[in-house]
Copies of this chain bind each other. A is one copy, B any other.
Amino acid sequence: MAGIKDVAAEAGVSVATVSRVLNDHPSVSPASRARVLAAVAALGYRPNAVARSLRTDQTRTLGLVISDVLNPYFTSLARAVEEEARTLGYSVIIGNADERPELQDHHVRTLLDRRIDGLLVSPTDRGSPLILDAVRAATPLVFVDRWIPGVEVPVVRSDGRAAVRDLVAHLLRIGHRRLAIIAGPATTTTGSERVDAFRTALGEHGVALPDAYIGQGDFQAESGRRAAERFLDLPEPPDAVFAADNLMALGALDAIRARGLSVPDDIALAAFDDIPWFVHTDPPITAIAQPTDELGRAAVRALAERIAGRVPPSVTLPARLVVRRSCGAEFPPAPRRPDPSTPHRSAPNPSART
């Protein structure tokens, strides 16, 4: 593969001049510039990013460590992140932690070894020493979606409290009284926070949240299934279940089906995180939608600020309730419009939210 020296030889100038042309440094004569450019084209030269990074100590690369690639919420987050990063001239390397702290650490470590310019993390656990080290070493870092309490790092996330309150009100209004939640791991902020919000909202209506109605999940479908089964085995099973993420909702739906029960007639189901498929499940699932794209974009912008040495503020965006049929009919059940939404691509149609 041709190097800068070959280009210099071909153009009859020094490597310094070639480099200057490539980084469009002002002081190069138009003549030299033209010849260099010609040589570059002739040889099909492409600068070696590795060498460049070594010298300049920047890779123009961002790391993104997400909790689970198979979760549509995170993939759309990743997509937004990559998009915004690209417009800012960065590449993104994605690490998938699969909700496993060791894997998360593995990725953080390799990313750091590669000297990425900044890191976006949605931590799978509280307290990874690696991440703490990174913070201490002043690696530009921004938390997205989840965070680690007590660590001085900007957080870009969405606040579901209001939406959870809406959801609870919705459920109670319809007539559900025994509300249960399938929580995420307590080691994640989103895990504990959503339970808190749920409990608080219930409290405001004078409804208690018994321990038996708190299922312990790990944000994976399988755990949702198990938690739902445990609920159904209760002497007095809940009449509504709120899953703290979409995968656990899927598992719960599985479990409920397997018992031959019907959603929403026998039991209501709602989920945190809205995804395209929820429109098409049987029944369509009521969910709390996060502004995923905005989150991704805001996270990248915050990280870019940190890299530039500034101190960006944390960003909190609101989530909102999207009512569908899985909790029972509150509104006339007939589609107001024929539910054109697939909240998928930000395509022509401005996705039907309720």
Q: Which residues of A contact B (CB under 8 A)?
A: 1, 44, 46-51, 53-54, 59, 69-70, 72, 75-76, 78-79, 82, 86, 91, 93-94, 96, 98, 106, 109-110, 112-115, 133, 137, 220-222, 225, 247, 250-251, 253-254, 257-260, 276-277, 279-283, 338-340, 342, 344-345, 347-348
Contacts and interface: CB of A to CB of B under 8 A. Distances in A.
Contacts of A110: 49, 91
13 contacts: A46-B112, A49-B113, A49-B115, A69-B78, A70-B344, A86-B106, A94-B94, A225-B342, A250-B344, A253-B280, A254-B279, A257-B339, A259-B338
Nearest to A1: B137
A76 B70 contact: yes
Contact of A51 (B54, B82, B93, B276): B54
A76 B277 CA distance: 16
Contact of A250 (B94, B106, B133, B277): B277
Given A82-B96, A345-B222, A254 B114 contact: no
Which 4 residue pairs spanning A and B have beta carbons closest together?
A: A282-B282, A258-B338, A277-B277, A49-B113
Nearest to A112: B46
Contact of A50 (B59, B94, B220): B59
Given A1-B137, A277-B277, A345-B220, A70 B59 contact: no
Nearest to A48: B115
Nearest to A60: B110
A112 B114 CA distance: 16
Contacts of A339: 254, 257-258
A268 to B, nearest CB: 16
A113 B50 CA distance: 8
Contacts of A69: 75, 78-79
Given A1-B137, A50-B50, A259-B338, 15 more contacts: A48-B115, A49-B113, A69-B75, A69-B78, A70-B76, A70-B344, A75-B75, A91-B93, A225-B342, A250-B342, A251-B342, A254-B340, A257-B339, A277-B280, A280-B282
